[in-house]
Structure 1
Amino acid sequence: MSGGALTGIKVLDLTRVLAGPYCTMILADLGADVIKVEAPGGSDETRSWGPPFQNGVSAYYLCTNRNKRSITVNLKTEEGRAIIRKLAEDADVLIHNFKTGSMEKWQLDYESLKTINPRLVFCSITGFGETGPLSHLPGYDYIIQGMSGLMSITGSEESGPIKIGVAMVDILTGLYSAISIEAALLERGKSGMGQKIDMSLLDTAVSSLANVASNYLISGHVPRRLGNDHPNIVPYSIYKALDGEIIIAVGNNRQFSTLCEAMGIAEIAHDERFHTNDARVQNRTLLGKILEEQLQLKPVEYWTELFCAHNIPCGPISSMDQVFNQPQVNAREMVVEVNHPEAGVVKLVGSPIKLSRTKTKIERHPPVAGEHTKEILLQAGYSLDEIEQFESQKII
């Protein structure tokens, strides 16, 4: 990678599945040299997750591993661990998501590595963090969604608790990790010292509760599942039109008055049951019925065009095929094509980061396991004879 905001930053990526690889993909898109470390043969479980596959390559793996180089190293051998220590000597960042205690057992923990590279930024991603009574447990997005309270507020009273449609806790943890790493690198520019970052899926999930957590902490009332309704604002939900459903997101009294006028029910805005947001929250069910009686007279497209003309926030609910056929999505280059040596030409979701000078680039396909092992080891100063010996001993 060249020309990106993080060009010159070397990252050792000892993560797998989603949170860690998502973090390092962000860094790689920004120009960092990310070296993905796996066991010989490839140990990122997502390589086998599917279907779908494209020519045997997992779509799941492809989604978070572009712009990286791949090296395979057997960390169960001292020789393999020595290779990681060698690579860490001039690395800027090391990130892992092994279970708490694993890196200490291998002497690849922060305290061990900072003696050979005090400038190293070391990021640990675990389910529950490295302190506290649950620190020894593994963590999985689905379980954390349940334990954090996210599932208790997702779904309706009738549906029961529902998980978010993607592993959002993993994704948010990846984002927080990238922010933390970049902050530590900025601070290192002033102090000259690296530091350790302790990231937890549970911490991230709890922080994502945002206003719902604040509502509880201030009021003491345990929130109930509201389906698609907003706990604090009405009308702010999904409503049925003639041929489908439409999202209406009215944020203030002025917008509500404009909505009622556009729908031909202007008098509703002056009804004391709906005149203020507080009143609308108290009477959300009744207001929903009144709105849907009108909305079901016309199709979604009619209402969307009408509301947009009146600057009323609204939108349809798009299926995946509709999303990736949207002119706006394509205009923002949110679908890119990359040549892969095994899968052929693959389509990937583009980066949402739009920088004016140091633009994000997708220059490398998601790597085949061990694709760059020899290249990386030669750059680290190993000879061809040493590399061949490592291969014969199954160290790489």
Structure 2
Amino acid sequence: GESGPEAGRPGYDLIVQGESGLMDLTGFPDGPPVKTGNSIADLAAGTMAAHGIVLALFARERTGAGQKVEVAMLEVMASLLTYQGQAYLSTGVSPRRKGNEHPSIVPYEVFEAADGYLTIGVANSSLWTRFCQALGRPELAKDSRFDTEARRVEHRATLVPLLGQIFATAPVATWLERLGQAGVPAGKIKSVGEALDSEHLRARGAIVPVTHPTAGTMRMVGPPIRLHATPGEVAGPAPLLGEHTEEILTKLLGYSSAEVTGLRAAGVV
């Protein structure tokens, strides 16, 4: 941000992840703090900046006046703490790392099957009953230790290892089929390659081909926001160094070709 006692500090993604409390929440209780697998602070700050610009444009339509839009990476990440941040503000107790556990939902985490990992989201008692039936263990739904959300959280240390033993008996695909038929939210933990090559993304047209001037045809992730009346598209790959210099100088800034030649000769561009 532009104010405050630390306004002059450099704001790199990793630094902000640590300073915001996010890294202290990420990882397992007996391990060190861990950053996310991508540059979430950079990406979230850019996304919020885009939102801010749109808000300012709407305000201009109403008032006729423009305004400055300020987005601070640290504040963006503080807002993304969501319920974890509010838990501290309400109780004065900082939440700690829990690995893949959810603080108030069980089971809502990662399990290892016979050939890989899957995620399970059993967020209410109706899902819990269907989940137990899909596992072939309907009696667990009526077990007094697990028959309410609160009791499942209370007996997490007993329930999670028990479920782990069950999931270890069959491959991921088998569990996903059973859970899907029961309407229980579940998914395979995929590699980046598996995710981007998935049939679903391919059918959605989410991965698009572009032509690079030196690398040839390559694939990129398309726009995730779909406007059905005015859809966007990937205009092309990242430009080469200086690829659009002359276009910008002549078409946007009004320089003549002779002036651009002079700038090149002087080493300015």
TM tier, smaller? over 0.9
Cα deviation, residue 298, structure 1: 1.5
Give the aligned residue type for 1:386.
E
- The match for 2:19 is 147
Give the helix-richer structure, 1 or 2.
Answer: 2
The two structures have a TM-score, normalised by structure 2, of 0.95
Asked whether the equivalents of residues 222 and 233 of structure 2 are also in contact (C-alpha less than 8 Å), the reply is no
- The match for 1:254 is 126
- The match for 1:185 is 57
- Choose the corresponding residue for 1:297, options 146, 166, 169: 169
The number of residue pairs the alignment matches comes to: 268
Percent of paired sites with the same residue: 38
Query: What is the RMSD of the two structures over their aligned residues, measured on CA atoms?
Result: 1.4
Give the strand-richer structure, 1 or 2.
Answer: 1
Gap runs ≥5 in structure 1: 1-128
Cα deviation, residue 316, structure 1: 0.8
- The match for 1:324 is 196
- The match for 1:394 is 267
Deviations 1:145-198 (Å, cap 9, x if unpaired)?
Answer: 111100101000122211101111111111111111111122222222221111
- The match for 2:184 is 312
Counterparts of residues 62-211 of structure 1 (less than 5 Å): 129-211=1-83
Q: Which whole-Å CA distance do the structure 2 matches of 1:156 and 1:219 have between them?
A: 22
Cα deviation, residue 391, structure 1: 2.0
Q: Secondary structure at the match of 2:219?
A: strand
Q: Secondary structure at the match of 2:208?
A: strand
Gap runs ≥5 in structure 2: none
The two structures have a TM-score, normalised by structure 1, of 0.65
Q: Which whole-Å CA distance do the structure 2 matches of 1:207 and 1:216 have between them?
A: 13
Q: Secondary structure at the match of 1:264?
A: coil
Give the 4+ runs in structure 1 shifted more than 6 A. Answer: none
- The match for 1:219 is 91
Deviations 1:241-261 (Å, cap 9, x if unpaired)?
Answer: 222222111111110111112
Q: Secondary structure at the match of 2:69?
A: strand
Deviations 1:10-62 (Å, cap 9, x if unpaired)?
Answer: xxxxxxxxxxxxxxxxxxxxxxxxxxxxxxxxxxxxxxxxxxxxxxxxxxxxx
Cα deviation, residue 223, structure 1: 0.9
Q: Which whole-Å CA distance do the structure 1 matches of 2:254 and 2:193 have between them?
A: 48
Q: Which whole-Å CA distance do the structure 2 matches of 1:377 and 1:219 have between them?
A: 57
- Choose the corresponding residue for 1:369, options 221, 241, 253: 241
Cα deviation, residue 204, structure 1: 0.9
Q: Which whole-Å CA distance do the structure 2 matches of 1:277 and 1:161 have between them?
A: 29
Q: Secondary structure at the match of 2:70?
A: strand
Q: Secondary structure at the match of 1:204?
A: helix
Give the aligned residue type for 1:354.
R
- The match for 1:121 is none
Structure with larger RCO (C-alpha < 8 A, sep 6+): 1
- The match for 1:385 is 258
Cα deviation, residue 266, structure 1: 1.7
Is it true that 1:340 corresponds to 2:208 in the alignment? no
